[in-house]
Amino acid sequence: MGITRRRITRSLMFLILCVVVVVMLFPFVFMVLTAFKSEDQYISGNGFSLDSWAELFNVLPVVQELINSTVVTAGAVVLIIVVSTTGGYAFAKLGFRGSGMVFLAILAGMMIPMQSIIIPEFVNIARVAHLNNQYLGAVLVYAALGAPFATYLMTTYYRGIPSELIEASVMDGASYWQVFRKLMLPLSIPAITTVAVLQFIQIWDDLLIGLLFLNDPQVRTITVGLAVIQTGRVVNVPALMAGSLLSALPAVVVYLIFQRNLIQGLTMGVNK
């Protein structure tokens, strides 16, 4: 009876997972198939062509928008990594006065909905710093939104590294900066990779920040460009699917390349 029950349970779980896979993959399959159809072929449901890609590059400066997305995403990810690694090291190992309260404030910042602070952010960037429609403005906003979680993750990871390693290095004459640069950073590569991949996917796929801070055609990202296509009276669905596929590919490729490092960083953080 026990063996039969386990087999039934496994079969049910397998069926449930199959349903979940179909539900999750159906939109992606639909996007890929539709991206290689012309508008007439999409309406009729027959045939394949590259007309949608020609239309996409005709209505949007795709290459420029991909470059814009790359610059903004890379800049924000680098800034987040710098802030989170140095902040996590300070919170976890240096123990300065008031670090507990500052860390709690950072955790509290993670609980504030982005939509509730986006208008003050826009006022600060546009009217105070005059960085609207500039790469730097979007980079700073993305970094401010992503740094709290990244700092929390790095702090948790650094707390799992034995303090005896730092004490031994300091006794050997190394400064705390040298300890951070030569010891802590190499040991935290899995956690840094986790932060980089998660933030890259989130920033690359974001639309709201881009619409507010990068609405100029010269600096807008690929997600904002795709949103512009949908504002027309008649939407070319195949061209939109082609653009969506092109926009999704970098995030998918990054995840597939660093999948093992991402899982390793998450599980090491949990185990520690």
32 lies in the same domain as 89: no
Examine residue 214 and state whether it is found in any structural domain, yes or no.
yes
151 lies in the same domain as 247: yes
CA dist., res. 85 & res. 107, Å (int): 16
Query: Where in the sequence is the domain holding 34, given as residue range(s)?
Result: 2-51
Contact 125, 192 (CB under 8 A): no
CA dist., res. 37 & res. 85, Å (int): 46
* pLDDT on residue 233: 64
Count of domains observed in the chain: 2
214 lies in the same domain as 124: yes
Radius of gyration from C-alpha coordinates of the chain:
23
166 lies in the same domain as 32: no
pTM of the model: 0.86
Mean pLDDT by 10 residues, the chain (272 residues): 77 92 89 89 86 89 93 96 93 82 86 84 82 90 91 89 85 86 88 92 91 88 86 77 91 86 64 48
122 lies in the same domain as 221: yes
Show the tokens assigned to 102.
């500052």
* pLDDT on residue 201: 92
118 lies in the same domain as 185: yes
* pLDDT on residue 272: 47
Examine residue 56 and state whether it is found in any structural domain, yes or no.
no
Per-residue b/e over 66-100, b at no fewer than 16 CB within 10 Å? bebbeebbebbbebbbebbbbbbbbbbbeeeeeee
41 lies in the same domain as 76: no
Residue 225 Cα to chain centre, angstroms: 19
